[in-house]
């Protein structure tokens, strides 16, 4: 009887021990792979945003706006072209214009829909939101999910229709490289903007808030082309 009971016990111990030892490294490998994929995705967004920023340098009125701006939010691809990349609307990066004239490294966000002005038949394009005051910047830094709209006390003006505005340029000016993306509507609404913690963490390889990034508590040398492109468009320095 003793021999019969000792064999199953040994087999049970082996069965319990071997799978645990074999499976232990797997979660670490999966985590590393996921982090690398997120970092690669973030780097692609930054590179695409730099291409958009270079287009702004050719726009005299945009250069003037950026020179006085408190921040800029760049979405390299909006609409169907962005699905599966940045969520329902697209992935964007925020750079803040510091008091010393330099621009911060990027913070990552996802965007939802444009509730007004999106012209029928326009399926994709890049857009830029120039943040003209601290109020607009703080919407990005203080909230994880928010909108830039009248409900939040933010006025977003269509850059192509600014000449029609009677009350200045608004808190935010929206520019697009796609003709007709915002239609003929003067005042726009941007809803469901969400801080992307995963991309931000992956890009800087540590856990950070949006405020941490803009306060220079971290940096990534790969962001230099984007920061330089925004600086050049604004006529400022790194």
Low-confidence winner among 30-34, 99-103, 120-124, 150-154 (lowest mean pLDDT): 120-124
User: Does the residue 7 lie in any domain?
Assistant: no
More confident residue, 33 or 166: 33
Is this prediction's pTM over 0.85?
no
User: Does the residue 194 lie in any domain?
Assistant: yes
User: Does the residue 20 lie in any domain?
Assistant: no
User: Does the residue 35 lie in any domain?
Assistant: no
Share the mean pLDDT of the chain.
80
Q: What is the pLDDT of residue 81?
A: 45
Q: What is the pLDDT of residue 213?
A: 96
Is it the case that residue 115 has pLDDT exceeding 60?
no
Q: What is the pLDDT of residue 98?
A: 93
Q: What is the pLDDT of residue 144?
A: 87
Q: What is the pLDDT of residue 192?
A: 86
User: Does the residue 182 lie in any domain?
Assistant: yes
User: Does the residue 67 lie in any domain?
Assistant: yes
User: Does the residue 10 lie in any domain?
Assistant: no
User: Does the residue 150 lie in any domain?
Assistant: yes
More confident residue, 12 or 135: 135
Is it the case that residue 118 has pLDDT exceeding 80?
no
96: domain range?
46-234
Is it the case that residue 6 has pLDDT exceeding 80?
no
Number of domains in the chain: 1
- Residue-wise pLDDT tens digits, 129-168: 999 999 999 999 998 889 998 888 999 888 877 655 555 6
Handedness of CA 169, 172, 175, 179 (dihedral sign): negative
Segment 53-71 mean pLDDT = 92
């Amino acid at each position: 009887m003793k021999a019969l009971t000792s064999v199953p016990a040994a087999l049970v111990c082996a069965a319990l021990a071997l799978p645990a030892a074999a499976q232990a490294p797997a979660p670490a490998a999966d985590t590393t792979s996921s982090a690398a994929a997120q970092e690669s995705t973030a780097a692609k967004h930054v590179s695409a945003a730099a291409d958009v920023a270079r287009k702004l340098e050719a726009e005299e009125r945009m250069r003037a706006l950026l020179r006085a701006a408190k921040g800029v939010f760049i979405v390299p691809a909006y609409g169907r072209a962005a699905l599966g990349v940045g969520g329902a609307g697209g992935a964007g990066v925020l750079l803040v214009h510091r008091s010393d004239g330099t621009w911060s490294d990027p913070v990552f966000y996802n965007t939802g829909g444009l509730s007004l002005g999106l012209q029928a038949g326009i399926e994709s394009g890049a857009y830029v939101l120039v943040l003209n005051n601290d109020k607009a910047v703080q919407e990005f830094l203080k909230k994880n999910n928010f909108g830039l709209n009248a409900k939040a006390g933010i006025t977003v003006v269509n850059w192509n229709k600014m000449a029609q505005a009677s009350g200045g340029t608004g808190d935010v000016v929206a520019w697009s490289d796609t003709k007709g993306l915002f239609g003929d509507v003067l005042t726009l609404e941007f809803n469901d903007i969400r801080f992307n913690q995963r991309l931000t963490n992956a890009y800087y390889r540590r856990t950070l808030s949006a405020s941490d990034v803009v306060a220079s508590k971290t940096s990534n040398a790969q962001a230099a082309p984007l920061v330089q492109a925004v600086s050049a468009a604004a006529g400022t320095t790194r």
